[in-house]
Structure 1
Amino acid sequence: MIASLIDTALRLRWVVLAMLLVLIGAGIWAFQQQPVDAYPDISEQMVQVIAVFPGRAPEEVERLVTIPLENAMLGLPKVEVVRSRTIFGLSLVQMIFHESAEPYWARQRVQENLVNLELPEGVDFELGPLATAYGEIYRYELVSDGRYSPMELRTLNDWVVIRQLMRVQGVAEVANLGGLERQFAVQFTPAELRRYDVTLADIEEAIQQNNASGGGSIIPRGDLSIVVRGRGQIETITDLEHTFIRSVNGSPIYLKDLAEVREDHLPQNGIFSKDDRDDGVSGIVLLRRGENPSQVLERVQQAVAELNESGLPEGVQIVPYYDRSYLVEATLHTVTHSVSAGITLVVLVLILFMGRPAMALLVAATIPFSVLFALVMMYLVDIPIGLLSIGAIDFGILVDGAVIMGESIARRLGASGTRDPREVWKIVRATALDIHWPVFVSMASIMVAFLPLLSLTRIEGLLFRPMALTLLFALTGALLFSLLVVPVIATFLFRRGYQEWVNPVLGWVYPIYGQILYGLLRVRWLVATVAVSGLLLLSATLFPRLGVEFLPYLDEGVIWVRANFPDGTRLEKTSELGRRLREICLEYDEIEFAVVQAGRNDDGTDPFPPSRIEMMIGPKPRSQWKDFKDKHELVAEIGNRFRDEFPTTRFNFTQPIIDSVTEDANGTSANLAVELSGDDLDVLLELAHQTVDLLRSVPGNQDVAIEQEGPQPQLVIVPDRQLCARYNVRIEEVMHLINMAIGGEPVGQVTEGERTFDIVARLDRDARRSPLVIGQLPIHTEDGVPVPLSQVASISVVDGQTIIAREDGRRRITVRCDIFGRDQGGFVAEAQARFAEQILLPPGYRVSWLGMFENLDRAYRHFSVLIPVTVAIIFIALIAAFGSVRAACVLMMPVPFAVASGALALYLRGMHLNVSTGVGFATLFGIAMTDAVLMFKGVSTYRLAGYALDEAIVRGRLDRLRPGLMTALSSIVGLLPASLATDLGSDVQRPLATVIVWGLAGSTLFTLFITPVIYRLFVPPLSEKQ
């Protein structure tokens, strides 16, 4: 079939050229249509339900909201995990769907189950935005020249900036962080209420009855129709002050007479601060799932420019401090440098060996052709252009087939000396038909090595499957170009013949190399024994010394810090401590900005307590650094300063994208999370403390702590049912009084044009802090007699939960631990062994080892199956290709030496085994055999010609030395720049490229000197396929 395709292509040469031009145009067009991003979206398929129950303690929210929501979601199809976190007034329930679930389908299933769900009155719930943990693409600060207060800036952000940015196509949500949300407060004391014999219910009723609008339809007036409007809504603070309450002796009592009416703000959920500014206003722009991040960022930047130019008051500007386009541009620069350097080195190798620029450029043309072919295929199957995928392409591998085809054509044309175009066509055809099988086998073996990578799942699958598909598409394009296009173009390019050029260095090497081979063949048993013994010794020494981790460190350009201050720390105090953290960061010349987010944002997607800080630190460009050689040193120095100054605070240093992704996937962003689950929180807390002590005894631990907040004081008001019945007071009336007077439940709204602001009626600030004053709140019986709240309810201060975490219907407490100076796998293995010996779990309680380690464990189990399957597939393919088990064994021999060489490179460079290196090793399985396949072809030719076995081996090896060295060196130098790169965006490519480059170097040496000896020992039988 392949032979007939080649024959058809050479007979329809102009058709092939026309199709080539069409592909070039289609590839360029596909590139313009596809989204480009630094990394693929590796976040889980998740749907969130955000439920707000204002003023309720975590225990009440869990019982009345979280558990019913969880129960409704547990039976959803394709749901893998149901996870929840409950804090004061907020419940966040997360459903992790299987990655095959379509996002809109998953949201529809959740929405359907919410329709018939009955929740208490006052609960507002909604689905989280159609975004992912990867979707935070833009962060900004609203900066003023001092003329605007935090409340005014927050109002501008809510009603101007966010509304404008939400209109941008591709934006899922814009979340506010910081500032003071404006409202109107009616504040009173119990004494004033008693003085005027007024209850809170009277005030609520008066505000609602005096805040209304009406419509009187239309009345005729001559030839006109006039619309009748009634405008009685409250529009100013004066309107609110003059709300009529009741008459006393004919004199009206207004709201201002018995309460203070003022502009106020809601209690803050979070405080934003940056550099030397303490209380700022920020916004976080979330990308809608599936959108093109580069295009959306361009539209966001344009909308921000328009707002800064004419959409905001004078003295107010939107200033971005995090823009994902920087990561894309920096990664693009790194990848472009590595790719261009790799392509340049490949072309130089081709020219060095082939001598003639025309033939070298023809072979090198495989690279743009295969990339364009890959772009077309990526467009057809809807794979975004990931710079990770493009940067991981070894352009030297792509030219392997073209090198074999081009070198054979050049050698035979040069040997013939013909200048007749018809003879050239015949020689090219005969060469292509003769050499097509080694070309196909060498390229197909590489492609087969990538096929099992398509079975990767979860984060590692989302990260590396697009890369594997991109490489498969590129290799397919390279194979088609080598078999069909190179022969066609050669008939045009060398229609007047080809004068072969042999590198003089190779001419000097040939006889020396031949004598070395003869010598090795004479002592073949000794050579084989030494080689195998060296391999076993190297493997036994290296692999136990290599550390294990899930992914290499991914540098996203900024530093992300999570800090947990002591339990119960007030939000204002947390922000004050955050100021000191910013000051420490700005002491370093390498730091450009420092941002602190205390508490949580206002959209409810991050249910963090007031004692929690998230911090973004922005380093300056690396060229401006003075005292630190890399980011690891800088992070270590800042971390030591933080821990020295705040010894009781837990710090975790990471990157914003990977932090969000791992937290959504595993419920925590820690390297290691020990999850304890059961029913009783007190028992779980005791087990958690034991686990903390245990982890702190394992070498390599850092920042070991319980992730959930501990108990905090709660003012608990419990109605006495018998006393309520005696005074004719309903429980609902007591709870309503608590919600309004203390919790600030809205009783109406003030309308200012398009903007509306809540009205709350509650005790003044000082009164709300005193249980004694709260107990004096009057509540009317059915007879209209006022009774103090303390007369019908008990009021006490007790400890309660701050945050309650659950997973799959069970409460859980997580102990987090970062690992420093040690590989993840070794640390966890030791910790698990100690846990099994020292901690006894009660019946019904269980432990799970999660975090990045869970991903590592899953990836390890996957690769333990994946690698043997890959080897088996390649082995079976070789048997089918060469018709002999012994031939397949000989061809597979370079693979273990390639693996050992790659492991040696990792050890010498201080790298760990991870998913990236695993992909590199899988790639090696296919590449390492290319030269051996060529040798087989050459040796078989001379054996069939009747040469003695030793002479056939030496002649066949020498005959294929040049193409073998060309393919090996071009593959090595193609990824050499990526293996040495250290700039932003090189983190995933570097370990992968290191394994391939140095593993291929080892396998090349093995194929040059050891494979001929192994061939002599096995003596594979000849077959028609060989």
Structure 2
Amino acid sequence: MLNRIIKYFLENRLVTILLLIGFIAWGVVTAPFGWKVDALPSDPVPVDAIPDIGENQQIVFTQWQGRSPQDIEDQISYPLTTYLLGIPGVKSIRSSSIFGFSSIYIIFNENIEFYWSRSRILEKLSSIPSGLLPDGVQPTLGPDATALGQVYWYTLEGRDKNGNPTGGWDLHEIRTVQDFYVKYGLNATEGVSEVASIGGFVKEYQIDVNPDALKAYNIPLHKVMRAVKQSNKDVGAKTIELNQAEYLVRGLGYIKSVEDLEKAVVAVEENVPIRIRDIGVVSLGPATRRGLLDKDGAEVVGGVVVARYGANPLEVINNVKDKIREIAPGLPKKTLSDGTESQLTIVPFYDRSQLIYETLGTLEEALSLEILISILVVIVMVYNLRASLLISSILPIAVLMVFIAMRYFGVDANIVALSGIAIAIGTMVDLGIILSENIIKHLDEAPRGQKLITTIYNGSVEVATAILTAVSTTIVSFIPVFTMQAAEGKLFGPLAFTKTFALVAALIVSLLILPTLAYWFFGAKVKNEKISRMINIGLILIGIAGWIYGQVWAGIMLLLFGTLVLYKSWYNKKEHSQSWYTRLIDKAELILVITGVVWLLGKYWLPLGADRSLFINVLFVALLVGLILGAFTLLEYYYKHILKWCLVNKGKFLLIPTLLIILGANVWLGFNSVFGFVSKSFEAIGIEVQSTKVWSTFAHLFPGIGEEFMPSLDEGSFLLMPTSMPHSGIEYNRKVVGQLDMLVTKIPEVELTVGKLGRVESALDPAPISMYENIINYKPEYMVNHSGHRIRFTVDAEGRYALKDGRFLSNEEALQKGISQAQLIEDDNGKYFRNWRPEIQSPDDIWEEIVQVTKIPGVTSAPKLQPIETRLVMLQTGMRAPMGIKVYGPDLKTIQDFGLQLEGILKQVPSVKKEAVFADRIVGKPYLHLNINREQIARYGLNIEDVQQTIETAIGGMNVTTTVEGRERFPVRVRYPRELRDDPESLKNILVPVPTGAQIQLGQLVDFEYVRGPQAIKSEETFLVGYVLFDKRDGHSEVEVVHDAQETIRQHINAGELNVPSGISYKFSGSYENQVRAAKRLSLIVPVVLGVIFLILYFQFKSVSTSFMIFSGILLAFSGGFIMLWLYGQTWFLDFSVFGTNVRGLFQMQTVNLSVAVWVGFIALFGIATDNGVLIATYLDQSFSRHQTTDLEEVRKAVVEAGMRRIRPALMTAGTTMIALLPVLTSTGRGADIMVPMAIPLFGGMTLSLISVFLVPVLYCIREERKLKKQ
């Protein structure tokens, strides 16, 4: 069947070429990189920075203004939580009760559809039984989004025509524009779920009643409220007809101004109206606020745009920007006193599209470099220009086909998904190498007169089954990734799809398209010498034009290529002996192409860094690739001799892979775990070996690899989240957040700092006023463009940068003077500009400076967090740190006390960062309780509600009505003046009306009591909970830190130093839970998949022993991956410099923990680790089927013959896979944090799997020799 398909496409070449053109055009249309082709429409794959791995969550949000967290918890959160527990598909419910509102987080199972869960919640909310909640309280369903959807934050600022900030705007003015113009304008954008406001002051009409006037006129407070409410009303009176025309009749009575309110009548005494102005003062003022925004130390107004669940974040952001351009001209403007015209402008301070573009840029660059380096390897090892171009063509075609599959299978493009293509590049090009190399062999060995199409067909079908088997094992190896659940499934599921798409695409191109291309490549010859000369002259002219118009190096390459081919044509007309010069001329085109590819790699890869010269980078690339390929060439050259030695000395040779497998096991599990049985055996006979120096040395050298869920993605910004003490007020917190912003902004590498305290007016943000969120945008190491690619600038002979004003400055001088990108001159042949000081080498160094400058008394430290990372952690665990302990208990005081004990213990754990440990101070908010004396109120004929209404209105203030002023709406609030309610003595004088008409002081009816209470109350599954947050020290893994903490707490409990109170329970929580869950699942699935791979090998070879021989390659590769991880953590490994650059720094070598990303690298390795074995075993079978062996010498001769026949393609496939990973291993752009851990085990495993080119023949030889002996 497969052979017939290959034959059909080879014979019907027009169908093949049309299919190829269709794939290329369709792939360009769906590519996520924003390629613009005018002739084609654009339908790109949806794009985000990383997958949304948050929980399937809905929020029920309930406001109850002015109520304490305890009231909210008792009367709203707890009863509503218990009521909602019965919704089908609910996994867990968390709640948070904070001053004025309740947030209930309902987490559904992953298989529950998002909008189906919303409809079930709405059904429940619509049928809430009477009496479950207080009167007038109405719970609402939060936006159809998660906190991860906060993709665009902005401020509204006055700017002049040059974009410079201006003053002249009051905060309440800007907030009004935000609330009633900008907010609704942006909310109408496609894909936007919500736009929420933050900062400034909400305008309100404030009526401060005079209690003495109320007493004099004998007017109770509730009467004032009723009068205000009745003074704000429009009515409709249907219609009347005048002169046969219909007029609509309206009674206009809405409040439009302060004067309207002042004239409202409260009562009439002796036909004299008593108005509001007679009993109080009416003014415009700010409403109570529970959040604000600060930018570089100045208070500002802003908003956040939330993308709808399932929407394409990049598309939403672009839609928002389009809408901003649309509404911007209509924003208010004013002329300031100095004549400056200031217009309100929307200024973004967090725009996720930049991270998305930079991440895509990193991947685009990595893919481009991988393709280039694969081309280089193929050219060098095949040494045939046509074959090299043929093999290389598979990569761009297959990658475009992957984009098509992603678009129509619903797989979004992000750093993880596209990494699937990056780690598959080597395998993809391997398929072309195997096929092309076999076709070339058939072309060389074809009998004279055989048709070209027959030769290519024979060469293709001979290895088609082997190629299909290799791809099948690779695809099957990724089944564990497809079976991952929860966060890890959402994170790496897309990668499994893209890698599978890539392999299937490469298989289709290799078997269906490549044979046809081979027919044209190897059959096409320019027989007419005149046409050939014209083509080469054309190349020379194009090269000259490119040189003139700025494409210097490309022009030189074309010029040299054309000239060289013309010279070669002239030279070959003459008779020459086979001298070295003749041989050089014959290969000159290849050498020139190799030189050009190396130069391109050096220019765009820049492995030694952008601050080193292009020549040095090109030279390093040539040396690095040359060194690896040279080693491969030597291995190929001496392969026959080495294999013969191995066949003679089988025992000695087999000792090598055995020891390597044992070494890999020690690295993975640790020396104590692997050889624990030895120590137990010695202990059984009374010998203690673990205390010996040798044992201790090995145990220290091989402790086992630490575990964590995922390495952090560098987002290009930090989220500083300290907290102040619970008792702090909003004014204190405003000063602190402004101080934090100013201190951080002074750091030269920081571009912008915007701090938020409290909450945005959204159900997605349940923060109290003591919680800060400071978004810190830091500059990239080098100046970059929109896509995150570094930009070159003009420099003089001394390396100083040229400015547009004619000055020349060094990099250091330009940094000191604050030179911006707009002042430099872009030049493709220039030099990159470094934004960081020499001592700053990584984002971690910037974070350490932030930590140092933000040490303020009364403010806690904060773990290192980033915006997306933080949203994900909070969505998954409810905590604002990657690790923590959840303490459950019967009451808040007991939970807090136990949490504080745990805080002290955690600070003693060596692997825990001491300054990041923080237990919730739950019961730390000062409360003033007004305890109503029931005996006293009964004496005056009052009930509880009468007194409570006065307390609520006079002290807290009550919004009585809302004005309607065009599109704007403002509340009207009634309250006592500030000076009469700001201290307990004043509160005692508040007047409470009694039924007799008299008014009595509040102090006679209530007792005042100061207590400590909760700032916020959290619960999970209706049980009260508190958090103890902590973070790991550098060099330690998450799982290791949690195990250390668990053990330390257990020791304190056993020693009696920590008593767990009755009703208290605790558990560790955080992202490490994802790692534990993923590890458990992988421990079940991976063995099953390895078994399936074995079965595929068995079905291919119909031999258990042959399948085991090939399977040995997986053990070697597995060990190689772990050994490479171990070497990365050893400070002595590759600790030397090349051209002044440390090699460890170049490859970013540091301790790498065993994360899910690393396991994905291993899983990818399993699929390709058997490829060399499959190739060798296929030809061993063929060799032995051709030769009837009768003695040991013939057996070994047949083994060597098969090995020699397949060593070249085996080395080429391994070489391309390994060398193609080099740009990934040295990558430093956005997203490299996730790609590098996946690439390390692949590189190490493929290095060690090369032994299989000896191991499989040796094992095969052993079997055949035993068969011979039995005969």
Task: Give the alignment's TM-score, normalised by structure 2.
Answer: 0.77
1:244 aligns with 2:265: yes
Match of 1:79 among 83, 90, 100: 90
By how many angstroms is 1:1020 displaced?
A: 10
Q: Distance in 1 between matches of 2:81 and 2:1266?
A: 66
- Separation (CA, whole Å) in 2 of partners of 1:211 and 1:310: 30
CA distance in 2, matches of 1:401, 1:979: 23
Percentage of pairs with the same residue: 29
SS of the residue 1:650 aligns to: coil
**Aligned-residue offset at 1:110:** 1.0
Contact 2:667 2:1122 in 1 (8 A): no
Q: 1:748 to 1:538 in 2, by over 3 A?
A: closer
Question: Which of residues 194, 205, 227 is equivalent to 1:173?
Answer: 194
Q: Does 1:402 align with 2:422?
A: no
- For residues 748-787 of structure 1, the aligned pairs below 5 Å read 748-787=961-1000
Report the CA distance shift for 1:508/1:875 in structure 2 as closer, same or farther (over 3 A).
closer
User: 1:782: how far off?
Assistant: 3.5
Q: Give the residue type in structure 2 aligned to 1:533.
A: L
Amino acid at match of 2:475: M
| Cα deviation code 1:550-606 (max 9, x no counterpart) | 111211110111101122111221121122222221222111111111112122422
**Structure 1 residue 12: deviation in Å?**
4.0
Task: Summarize deviations over 1:833-852 as a string: whole Å, max 9, x none.
Answer: 22233244345432221012
Q: Which moved more, 1:489-498 or 1:520-529?
A: 489-498
- Please say if residues 870 and 922 of structure 1, whose CA atoms lie closer than 8 Å, have aligned partners that are also in contact: no
Determine if contact 1:413/1:497 at 8 Å carries over to the other structure. Answer: no
Distance in 2 (CA, whole Å) between partners of 1:106 and 1:688 is 35
CA distance in 2, matches of 1:719, 1:647: 35
Partner Cα separation in structure 1 for residue 98 and residue 1220 of structure 2: 53
1:660 Cα deviation after fit = 0.4
Q: 2:902 aligns with which of 664, 684, 691?
A: 691
1:1003 and 2:1249 correspond: yes
Q: Structure 1 residues 62 and 264 mapped into 2: Cα distance closer, same or farther (>3 Å)?
A: same
Q: Distance in 2 between matches of 1:8 and 1:840?
A: 78
1:223 aligned residue (231, 241, 244): 244
What is the match of residue 597 of structure 1?
756
Measured in 2, the distance between the counterparts of 1:281 and 1:866 equals: 52
Letter in 1 for 2:654: A
* Offset, 1:1018: 4.5
2:560 matched residue in structure 1? none
Helix, strand or coil at the partner of 2:956:
coil
What residue in structure 1 maps to residue 403 of structure 2?
375
Q: Could you tell me how far 1:216 is from its partner in structure 2?
A: 1.8
Give the structure 1 partner of residue 653 of structure 2.
527
Residues 1:307 and 1:695: Cα distance change in structure 2 (over 3 Å): same
- After superposition, what is the alpha-carbon deviation per residue over 1:150-204, rounded to whole angstroms, capped at 9, x for unaligned? 1111111101111111111111111111111110111124333212211111101
Asked whether the 8 Å contact 1:271–1:571 carries over to 2, the reply is no
Deviation at 1:872, TM superposition (A): 2.1
Shift in CA distance, 43/508, structure 1 to aligned 2, threshold 3 Å: closer
> d(CA) in 1 for partners of 2:1092 and 2:1215?
26
Of the structure 1 ranges 84-93 and 973-982, higher mean CA displacement relative to structure 2 is found in 973-982
The structural deviation recorded for 1:741 is: 1.7
- Is residue 412 from structure 1 mapped to residue 433 from structure 2 by the alignment? no
- Report the alpha carbon displacement of residue 108 of structure 1 after superposing the two structures with TM: 0.7
Q: 1:868 aligns with which of 1066, 1082, 1087?
A: 1087
* 1:1016 alignment partner, SS class: helix
Q: In the alignment, what sits opposite 1:18?
A: 18
Matched, 1:738 2:951: yes
2 CA distance for matches of 1:496 and 1:143? Answer: 66
Secondary structure at the aligned position of 2:133 is classed as coil
Question: Any gaps of 5 or more consecutive residues in structure 2?
Answer: 32-41, 159-165, 335-341, 527-585, 592-628, 670-702, 783-834, 1129-1148
Does the 8 Å CA contact 2:125/2:139 hold for their aligned counterparts?
A: no
1:653-694 C-alpha deviation (Å, 9 max, x unpaired): 211001101111111132321111122222212221221111
Q: Which residue, out of 181, 193, 202, partners 2:214?
A: 193
Match of 1:663 among 867, 871, 874: 874
| Contact 1:746 1:761 (C-alpha < 8 Å) held by counterparts | yes
Q: How does 1:37-436 map to 2 (within 5 A)?
A: 37-117=48-128, 118-144=132-158, 145-277=166-298, 279-314=299-334, 315=342, 316-393=344-421, 394-416=424-446, 418=448, 423-436=451-464
Using CA pairs below 8 Å that are at least 6 residues apart, which structure has the higher relative contact order? Answer: 1
Equivalent position amino acid for 2:1022 in 1: G
Q: Name the stretch that deviates more: 352-361 or 538-547.
A: 538-547
Inter-partner Cα distance in structure 1 for 2:16 and 2:920: 63
Separation in 1, partners of 2:884, 2:910:
16
Partner of 1:716: 929
- The equivalences for 1:534-613 within 5 A come to 534-541=660-667, 543=669, 544-613=703-772
More strand by share: 1
Question: Are the counterparts in 1 of residues 666 and 704 from structure 2 also a CA contact under 8 Å?
Answer: no
Q: CA deviation at 1:390?
A: 2.0
Distance 1:55 1:223 in 2: 54
1:507, 1:307 → 2: CA distance? 65
Q: Does the C-alpha gap of structure 1 residues 708 and 663 become closer, same or farther in structure 2, counting only changes over 3 Å?
A: farther
Q: 1:938 aligns with which of 1179, 1182, 1198?
A: 1179
For 1:725 and 1:2, locate their aligned partners in 2 and report how far apart those are by CA, in whole Å.
96
Q: Does 1:642 align with 2:854?
A: yes
Counterpart CA distance in 2 for 1:897 and 1:783 is: 95
AA of the residue aligned to 2:849: E
Shift of 1:387: 4.0
The answer to whether the 8 A contact 1:140-1:282 is kept is: yes
Distance 2:954 2:498 in 1: 62
Distance in 1, matches of 2:728 and 2:1088, equals 54
Q: State the alpha-carbon separation in 2 of the partners of residues 226 and 348 from structure 1.
A: 84
Matched-pair contact (CA < 8 Å) for 2:480–2:1082: no
SS at match of 1:148: coil
Q: 2:637 and 2:762 mapped to 1: Cα distance? A: 75
Shift of 1:964: 0.8
Counterpart in the other structure of 2:1022:
809
- Residue identity in the other structure for 1:198: I
Deviations along 1:33-58, one digit per CA (max 9) or x if unpaired, are 22122222222211111111111111
Q: Distance in 1 between matches of 2:668 and 2:179?
A: 58
Instruction: Choose from 955, 964, 967 the match for 2:1213.
Output: 967
Q: Which amino acid aligns with 1:852?
A: S
Q: Which amino acid aligns with 1:824?
A: E
The 8 Å contact of residues 886 and 1020 in structure 1, kept in 2 or not, is answered as no
CA distance in 2, matches of 1:688, 1:679: 13
Residue 1040 of structure 2: which of 826, 846, 863 is its match?
A: 826
Confirm or deny that 1:850 pairs with 2:1100. Answer: no
Decide whether aligned partners of structure 1 residues 567 and 418 sit closer, same or farther in structure 2, where only a CA change above 3 A counts: farther
Give the 3-state SS of the residue equivalent to 2:284 in structure 1.
strand
| Paired AA for residue 818 in structure 1 | D
Once the two structures are superposed, residues 62-115 of structure 1 have per-residue CA deviations (whole angstroms, 9 ceiling, x without a partner) of: 111101221122122222111111111111101111222221111111111111
Q: What SS class does the counterpart of residue 923 from structure 2 fall into? A: coil
Amino acid at match of 1:759: V
Alpha-carbon RMSD:
2.4
Structure 1 residue identity aligned to 2:453: W
The whole-number CA distance in structure 1 between the counterparts of 2:868 and 2:1040 is 26
Distance 1:780 1:1019, change over 3 A: farther
The answer as to 2:964 corresponding to 1:953 is no
Give me the whole-angstrom Cα distance separating, in 1, the residues matched to 2:635 and 2:84: 71
- Distance apart, 1:452 and its partner CA: 1.7
Q: Which among 993, 997, 1009 is matched to residue 796 of structure 1?
A: 1009
Question: C-alpha displacement at 1:982, in angstroms?
Answer: 1.1
Q: Which moved more, 1:706-715 or 1:661-670?
A: 706-715
Residue of structure 1 in register with 2:679 after alignment: none
C-alpha distance in 1 between matches for 2:524 and 2:999: 113
Residues 734-758 of structure 1, C-alpha deviations (whole Å, 9 max, x = no match): 2222222222221112232221111
